[in-house]
């Protein structure tokens, strides 16, 4: 892209370029919800803009709604990534958990490759990015996920969704309906944020104190814990189910916890915990709480997924 394309004669940014770049945050938000990976989302958005700037100015000017064009391209790219990700995740070492996100004000690390984090890349934290929601999305087909997120979360019409997914509006309506049923079947009734924060705080204190009875009182009978190390750090490779098994695992974790600092943080918009060692975040814990009990625990230890949480040592 030349300087002439970027600036007007008075040296200010070309308003058409400014309008195009203003779409970036929305595209990042869309791509993260579709892919569950900030790194993949950034790659998709970068490729989307590369395709825009590969066109001539005449071709760009002929596009009635550049924002809609960018969304369509990003959506199709996400659909391709989701299709290939299924094969990649079959060879992933252990459980694959979506990449956890901190509060925007706590976003520390830069992008892959050492680039500085851009405030425009912050993900808007709402119920569509909490960990339980993203995990359910992982169980959907790529087409279900794209149709549901575009229509139910971003409010695109089924006619617009059809152009991205490559199916009829009626088929997209069915895909979104199927996805909605999956969400309803798995979502626990909402627990007030203050109560969630109290339960997570009690879990932290019981873990640090080695209080087995305290931990048991906080766990649902059918509690399940998942851990994602990506084969890069030691962790359990399969889900741990039931109070007895989880307490046994937490006991084994006690030695490591004594060497770490456990901090309360917001994880994907909900109360969670992080573990730091020598100032570096080494684990992020997200929870799903039903009533007053913890139903699911997700522990992300894969360092590639912790970049927004810490700087390199």
Query: Are both 28 and 105 inside the same structural domain?
Result: yes
Query: Are both 255 and 182 inside the same structural domain?
Result: no
Query: Are both 252 and 174 inside the same structural domain?
Result: no
pLDDT at 121: 56
pLDDT at 265: 96
pLDDT at 145: 96
8 A C-beta contact, residue 264 and residue 204: yes
The residue ranking higher by pLDDT, 85 or 30, is 30
Residue 2 — very low, low, confident or very high, per pLDDT cuts 50/70/90? very low
List all residues 6 or more positions away from 75 whose beta carbon is below 8 Å from its beta carbon.
Answer: 30, 34, 146, 150, 164, 165
Mean pLDDT of the region 32-51: 95
**19 CB burial (10 A radius; 0-12, 13-18, 19+):** exposed
Query: Are both 236 and 139 inside the same structural domain?
Result: no
Count the neighbouring beta carbons within 10 Å of the beta carbon of residue 239.
14
Domain boundary among 170, 186, 202: 186
- pLDDT tens sequence across 48-92: 999 999 999 999 999 999 999 999 999 999 999 999 887 778 788
How far apart CA 120 and CA 110 sit, in angstroms, is 13
Query: Are both 63 and 103 inside the same structural domain?
Result: yes
Query: Are both 73 and 221 inside the same structural domain?
Result: no
pLDDT at 105: 66
Q: At residue 43, does pLDDT exceed 60?
A: yes
Q: How many domains does the chain have?
A: 2
Q: At residue 311, does pLDDT exceed 50?
A: yes
pLDDT at 130: 94
Residue 17 — very low, low, confident or very high, per pLDDT cuts 50/70/90? low
Query: Are both 52 and 161 inside the same structural domain?
Result: yes
- pLDDT tens sequence across 223-275: 999 999 999 998 888 999 999 999 888 887 777 778 899 999 999 999 999 99
222: CATH: 3.10.450.50
Q: Which tokens hold the place of 79? A: 């659909």
Q: What's the predicted TM-score (pTM) here? A: 0.86
- pLDDT tens sequence across 288-310: 999 899 999 999 999 999 988 87
Domain boundary among 128, 152, 186: 186
8 A C-beta contact, residue 313 and residue 280: yes
Alpha carbon 27 to its chain centroid, in Å, reads: 14
Mean pLDDT of the region 13-34: 82
Query: Are both 171 and 233 inside the same structural domain?
Result: no
Residue 114 — very low, low, confident or very high, per pLDDT cuts 50/70/90? very low
Query: Are both 242 and 278 inside the same structural domain?
Result: yes
The residue ranking higher by pLDDT, 4 or 184, is 184
Query: Are both 177 and 202 inside the same structural domain?
Result: no
Strand-pair partners of 297? 225, 287
Mean pLDDT of the region 30-54: 95
Residue 11 — very low, low, confident or very high, per pLDDT cuts 50/70/90? very low
Query: Are both 34 and 113 inside the same structural domain?
Result: yes
- pLDDT tens sequence across 152-185: 999 999 999 999 999 999 999 999 999 999 999 9
In 3D space, the residue among 260, 255, 224, 230 whose CA is nearest the CA of residue 242 turns out to be 224
Query: Are both 180 and 290 inside the same structural domain?
Result: no
Q: At residue 32, does pLDDT exceed 70?
A: yes
- pLDDT tens sequence across 131-148: 999 999 999 999 999 999
pLDDT at 56: 94
How far apart CA 263 and CA 261 sit, in angstroms, is 6
85: CATH: 1.20.140.160
Residue 14 — very low, low, confident or very high, per pLDDT cuts 50/70/90? low
**Parent domain of 259:** 193-309
Q: Which residues of 46-76 are buried (b: 16+ CB within 10 A; e: fewer)?
A: eebbeebeeeeeeeeeeeeeeeebbbbbbbb
Domain boundary among 129, 153, 186: 186
């Amino acid at each position: 892209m030349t300087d002439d394309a970027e600036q007007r004669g008075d040296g200010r940014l070309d308003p058409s370029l400014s309008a195009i770049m203003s779409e970036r945050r929305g595209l990042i938000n869309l791509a993260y919800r579709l892919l569950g990976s900030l790194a993949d989302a950034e790659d998709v958005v970068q490729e989307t803009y590369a395709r825009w700037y590969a066109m001539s100015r005449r071709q760009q000017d002929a596009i009635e709604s550049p924002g809609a064009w960018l969304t369509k391209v990003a959506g199709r790219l996400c659909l391709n990534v989701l299709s290939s990700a299924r094969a990649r995740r079959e060879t992933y070492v252990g459980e694959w958990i979506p990449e956890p996100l901190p509060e925007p004000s706590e976003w520390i690390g830069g992008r892959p490759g050492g680039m500085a984090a851009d405030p425009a890349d912050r993900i808007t934290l709402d119920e569509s990015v909490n960990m339980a929601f993203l995990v359910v999305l992982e169980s959907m087909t790529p087409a279900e996920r794209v149709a549901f997120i575009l229509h139910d979360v971003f409010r695109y019409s089924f006619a617009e969704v059809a152009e991205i997914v490559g199916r009829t509006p009626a088929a997209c309506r069915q895909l979104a309906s199927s996805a909605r049923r999956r969400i309803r079947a798995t979502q626990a009734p909402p627990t007030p944020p203050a109560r969630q924060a109290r339960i997570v705080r009690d879990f932290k204190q019981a873990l640090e104190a080695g209080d087995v009875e305290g931990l048991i009182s906080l766990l649902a009978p059918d509690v399940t814990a998942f851990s994602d190390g990506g084969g890069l750090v030691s962790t359990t490779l399969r889900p741990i189910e039931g109070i007895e098994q989880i307490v046994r695992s937490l006991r084994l974790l006690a030695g490591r916890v004594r060497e770490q600092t456990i901090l309360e943080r917001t994880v994907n918009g909900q109360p969670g915990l992080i573990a730091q060692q020598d100032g570096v975040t080494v684990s992020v814990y997200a929870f799903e709480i039903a009533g007053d009990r913890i139903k699911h625990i997700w522990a992300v230890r894969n360092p590639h997924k912790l970049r927004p949480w810490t700087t390199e040592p």
